[in-house]
Amino acid sequence: MGVIGVQLVVTMVMASVIQKIIPHYSLARWLLCSGSLRWYQHPTEEELRILAGKQRGKTKKDRKYNGHIENKPLTIPKDIDLHLETKSVTERDTIALHYFPEYQWLVDFTVAATVVYVVTEAYYSIVKPSQEMNISVVWCLLVLAFAVKVLFSLTTHYFKVEDGGERSVCVTFGFFFFVKAMAILIVTENYLEFGLESGFSNFSESAMQFLEKQGLESQGPVSKLTFKLFLAVLCSLIGAFLTFPGLRLAQMHLDALNLATEKITQTLLHINFLAPLFTVLLWVKPITKDYIMNPPLGKESIPLMSEDTFDTVRLWIIILLCVLRLAMMRHHLQAYLNLAQKSVDQMKKEAGRISMVDLQKMVARVFYYLCVIALQYVAPLVMLLHTTLLLKTLGNYSWGIYPELNSDTPVENSLLPSSVYSESPPADGKMKVTVVQITMALGSLKNIFTPLLFRGLLSFLTWWIAACLFSTSLFGLFYHQYLTVA
């Protein structure tokens, strides 16, 4: 009998797909190079000379007469009649983009991990294995690790800037989110129904029972204060990593609204911007769950759906909002690329002169940082999506709208020890004895880290990621709308 069986086969096939097929059929490259995105090319030196009415002199005296010498950079008036040419983004253009390998790997690996997750969920719904480890959890954890690594790399890039204020912004928002997390963690379950209290209590009791069986005396692995302090520190780091993605999203949202001409596109852009707020409200009990479970319909109170159905609908809403955000990605990226022309138009309103090199850098910089902006847009989306998938799997939820008819294994059943404890290890062979011992150890860990704990922890992290995105994007909206000079 195989250790993992079908899941191991799926993993090996997907690893081969990542190595052989995805480099040729990449979703990340298609999102940028399908022809819908157009970037602005910087003008050449000859074009700028012609527009400024200057010609390259043959002698040093002629070049000095035209306004420059050998050691002085060429300058042109800022109010020059300059119109940038556009070009569709091609695969050759992406070679020079900063962070393009990281962007391509994150998006393509996320696609592969999502496919593995879907296949594994189908396998579990049909076969219903009881003694196998769900390997899709490992794929989801790898996706989250890659997303956090990319956000950490982008954040350290801001810390390397000496003159800018990006470092102060990250530190300030990090401390702000630390205080906010401490305040959220003391809110009772009557308002925010994460299930952290019940999950931590279940974890402590299970750990104490396990230690007692091993002959050890303990009051628990960790105190509640230490647990919440660790969560607050983790939340502050997540908030610091999501600061500039949220601020950038606000600017792209405003520019995309000005760019959109159809009402349906503008409506979808508004929904996409408010998607994190909708996710946050799904865990606010007085606003959502109380009205659904006990709607005010006169004297009689008839619940619109069961509690299990509400949990399932909540998962589906988050996934649909993630799909919407991915669908609106090109509108936001095109709005970012238009910043090149917007900067040139702003320059024309100013007096004075600008060097040709600075003008070319100002235009070219927008396109070369396209993948940085794409990562800031995609990485929070990937984190939110796969945290939700982990919440479903580790929290023992169901994808069916009526899980009470589809699910035969409630949460309490998963807390029971597996049948491996009743099996005696065979005497022929040390290998089988070792396998049984490892299985018993994994069973013990399963009894400690229960679905009740994962429900509380992953619900809180899913809610927190959405809350950080909405907080930073709302601040960015206020900043770009009222504090910047147009």
Q: What is the DSSP string of 469-482?
A: HHHHHHHHHHIIII
Checking if the pLDDT of 402 tops 50, the result is yes
* Calpha distance 171→173 (Å, rounded): 6
Q: What is the pLDDT of residue 440?
A: 62
Q: CA dihedral in degrees (24, 30, 32, 36; nearest 10)?
A: 140
Checking if the pLDDT of 41 tops 70, the result is yes
* Calpha distance 105→18 (Å, rounded): 10
* Calpha distance 472→251 (Å, rounded): 11
Structure tokens at 57: 């002199």
Q: What is the pLDDT of residue 387?
A: 96
Nearest Cα residue to 29 out of 90, 75, 71 = 90
> What's the mean pLDDT when you consider all of the chain?
83
Q: Which residues lie below 8 Å from residue 403, measured CB to CB, with a gap of 6+?
A: 308, 309, 311, 312, 397
Nearest Cα residue to 385 out of 290, 305, 482, 276 = 276
Q: What is the pLDDT of residue 389?
A: 95
pTM of the model: 0.86
The answer to whether 373 and 330 are in contact (CB under 8 A) is no
Q: What is the pLDDT of residue 297?
A: 66
Classify the C-alpha dihedral 380-386-150-237 as positive or negative. positive
At 54, the pLDDT band (50, 70, 90 cuts) reads low
Q: 33-37, 178-182, 288-292, 299-303: which range is least confident on average?
A: 299-303
Neighbours of 69 (CB within 10 A): 11
* Helix residue ranges, H only, 128-195: 136-159, 166-185
Q: What is the pLDDT of residue 295?
A: 73
Nearest Cα residue to 175 out of 229, 226, 237 = 237
Q: How far is CA 465 from CA 25, 180, 365, in A?
A: 30, 13, 30
Residue found under tokens 């589809």? 406
| pLDDT digits 0-9 by tens, 140-171 | 999 999 999 999 999 998 888 776 688 888 99
Checking if the pLDDT of 192 tops 80, the result is yes
* Calpha distance 473→486 (Å, rounded): 19
Residue type, 163: D
* Helix residue ranges, H only, 53-135: 60-65, 100-127
* Calpha distance 470→278 (Å, rounded): 10
The answer to whether 336 and 245 are in contact (CB under 8 A) is no
| pLDDT digits 0-9 by tens, 91-114 | 888 888 889 999 999 999 999 999
Structure tokens at 136: 């899709």
| pLDDT digits 0-9 by tens, 415-473 | 334 444 444 444 455 666 565 666 666 666 777 778 899 999 999 999 999 999 999 99
* Calpha distance 89→34 (Å, rounded): 8
Classify residue 422 by its DSSP letter.
G
How far is residue 426 CA from its own chain's centroid? Answer: 48
Structure tokens at 457: 């922890």
- Phi, psi for residue 141 in degrees, rounded to 5: -65, -35
At 404, the pLDDT band (50, 70, 90 cuts) reads very low
Checking if the pLDDT of 210 tops 80, the result is no
| pLDDT digits 0-9 by tens, 66-82 | 555 455 668 888 888 88
Nearest Cα residue to 466 out of 234, 242, 292 = 242
| pLDDT digits 0-9 by tens, 343-392 | 888 888 888 888 888 888 899 999 999 999 999 999 999 999 999 999 99
At 34, the pLDDT band (50, 70, 90 cuts) reads confident
Classify the C-alpha dihedral 292-293-298-302 as positive or negative. positive
* Calpha distance 140→226 (Å, rounded): 27
Helix (H) or strand (E) holding 197: helix 196-213
> DSSP secondary structure string, 236-294?
HHHHHHTHHHHHHHHHHHHHHHHH--SHHHHHHHHHHHHHHHHHHHTTBTTTTHHHHHS
Checking if the pLDDT of 339 tops 80, the result is yes
* Calpha distance 287→453 (Å, rounded): 24
Checking if the pLDDT of 413 tops 50, the result is no
